[in-house]
A and B are shown apart, each in its own frame.
Chain A
Amino acid sequence: QAQLVESGGGVVQPGRSLRLSCAASGFTLRTYAMHWVRQAPGKGLEWVAGLPSDGSNYFYADSVKGRFTISRDNSKNTMYLQMQSLRAEDTAVYYCARDLTSVITNLLESWGQGTRVSVSS
């Protein structure tokens, strides 16, 4: 059974960086497209970034483009989200999610339990 476990969240000052990890088990990460989705406190869902299984392209929401980088390490079956120049509005629970297929469909079939990021001085 597919399982995703996020880690790396915490409290960080504005302008600083943080790297989130998403460890996959029960399936091979490199055979699926993967995404990051966030949820600000008391708010709805916001898609953040995605990449297909072949890593040929990277896609970002405009709100994070140029500041966040999605990547994966197939040898570790782990995906990452490198976040730089963090802002207060980046405060959210960050979920990693597995796509339905190897190409991006944006159908988020499996989700981790999330890791909380708080950007505050």
Chain B
Amino acid sequence: EIVMTQSPATLSVSPGETATLSCRASQSVSRNLAWYQQKPGQAPRLLMYGISTRATDIPARFSGSGSGTEFTLTISSLQSEDFAIYYCQQYDYWPPCTFGQGTKLEIK
């Protein structure tokens, strides 16, 4: 099973600034890396897949980068609705696909 590790656990950023979230895989997952956003009391929402392809209706301020085992989700010009928990997911080697433990993005 591939272990996904996210850092930091909590990230405090001011609205309007840029947030950078990291995700590391225990082995290469090629381009099979996705990101999800989850707000309190809600189901997760697919943000990004294939490292950098935005899902339907995801704004351009969300961008993904990386390769192999190291990946980054960047959120620019943070809006109030962006403060949430973000999970990375590998879907290269499955079952099971596996998720990171999450990064909580909070308002500074």
Contact = CB atoms under 8 A, between A and B. Distances in A.
Q: Is the interface of B mostly helix, strand, loop or mixed?
A: loop
A108 B98 CA distance: 12
Interface residues of B, number: 22
Contacts, number: 53
A113 to B, nearest CB: 6
Contact of A111 (B34, B45, B87, B99): B45
A31 B37 CA distance: 25
Interface stretch (B10-18, B61-69, B88-96): B88-96
A42 B76 CA distance: 27
Nearest to A110: B46
A45 B99 contact: yes
B91 A45 contact: no
A46 B87 CA distance: 11
A106 interface: yes
Interface in B34-68: 34, 36, 42-46, 49, 55-56
Interface of A: 37, 44-47, 50, 59-62, 95, 100, 104-109, 111-114
Closest 7 CB pairs of A and B: A106-B91, A111-B43, A106-B97, A45-B99, A59-B95, A61-B96, A44-B101
